[in-house]
Amino acid sequence: MTTTVEKGTATTDTAIPSKKKSRKFSPWGVVAWLVGLGFFFPVFWMVLTSFKQEGDAATSPPKLLFTPTLDQFAAVFDQGIGPAMLNSIFATVISTVLVLALGTPAAFALSLRPVRKTQDALFFFMSTKMLPIVAAILPLYVIVSNIGLLDNIWALVILYTSMNLPIAVWMMRSFFLEVPGEVILPLVSPGIAATALICVIFAWNEFFFAVNLTAVNAQTMPVYLVGFIAGEGQYWAVLSAAATMAALPVILCGWFAQNKLVRGLSFGAIK
């Protein structure tokens, strides 16, 4: 009996495989971390500066130990960030919804039943993105002024929709080509989410059209931030607070949609 137990114990001990895996050091991993930290540091410094007083933010060398304060955020609200934030949200959301509503069926049609010279049609879509917006601002200004949309947020909605529609059609067609025709929406939803997020980023950060067409009553966040650049000097703390609030909506959208964004961008959008 004792011999049997010992053999069984020995057999059991040798049957259990070791689950420990050796991890090899990769210098590319260190490089990737350094690059990531390098891109993240300006955002971190902006947020850190937003909690300083103006005197602490302007010191040289920079002051790392300070008493955090919310005075700069209060000053941003006192200077009327609300209307600019609402204008940016309105123009971004409405234009993105219109882009998806128009671009999804167009991309699906081009993937399901390609027309003659589909690549030429897609290249024409993308070629509209190659036109410098400086070359188009004068005729656009005349058209917007004649139809009564100067300094009106709907002018930006129309321009942002036309600006983002080509890249949306291009991206979503690649997504539709990767899935079977009978099962579309459940599989292509990461691609649609990735396209929507890219359209949101482009519309939210757009400055040139906004500053030339809607700079007063319908100003957006990028135009609002320019108001903190004064001739007598830079107010770094309050500017950092305003920039933090301007970046927060896009950062939150990217954070909540990060899983679908990664899946979508690796699903065939960029080849």
Contact 188, 122 (CB under 8 A): no
Mean pLDDT of 117-129: 72
Q: What percentage of residues in the chain have a pLDDT greater than 90?
A: 28
Q: Give the tens place of pLDDT for each residue, 156-176.
A: 999 999 989 988 888 888 888
Q: Which helix (H) or strand (E) holds 122?
A: helix 118-127
Confidence of residue 155 (pLDDT cuts 50, 70, 90): very high
Give the pLDDT confidence score for residue 55 in this predicted structure.
83
Q: Which two tokens stand for residue 162?
A: 């036309």
Give the pLDDT confidence score for residue 117 in this predicted structure.
67
Q: Which two tokens stand for residue 77?
A: 């609200």
Over 60: is that where the pLDDT of 91 sits?
yes
Give the pLDDT confidence score for residue 23 in this predicted structure.
63
Please tell me which of 54-58, 193-197, 234-238, 258-262 the model is most confident about, judged by mean pLDDT.
193-197
CA dist., res. 102 & res. 94, Å (int): 12
Q: Which two tokens stand for residue 240?
A: 């950092």
Classify 81-269 by CATH class: mainly alpha
Please tell me which of 12-16, 29-33, 108-112, 262-266 the model is most confident about, judged by mean pLDDT.
29-33
Confidence of residue 129 (pLDDT cuts 50, 70, 90): confident
Give the pLDDT confidence score for residue 270 in this predicted structure.
44
Mean pLDDT of 36-59: 88
Over 50: is that where the pLDDT of 265 sits?
yes
CA dist., res. 199 & res. 202, Å (int): 5
Give the pLDDT confidence score for residue 3 in this predicted structure.
45
Mean pLDDT of 223-250: 84
* 130 secondary structure, DSSP code: G
Give the number of other Cβ atoms within 10 Å of residue 242's Cβ. Answer: 25
Which residues lie across from 82 on neighbouring strands? none
The lowest-confidence range among 22-26, 42-46, 232-236, 251-255 is 22-26
Instruction: Write down the mean pLDDT value for the chain.
Output: 81
Q: Give the tens place of pLDDT for each residue, 176-232.
A: 877 766 656 667 777 888 889 889 999 999 999 999 998 788 889 999 988 887 766
Reference 151, options 209, 112, 109, 192; nearest CA is 209
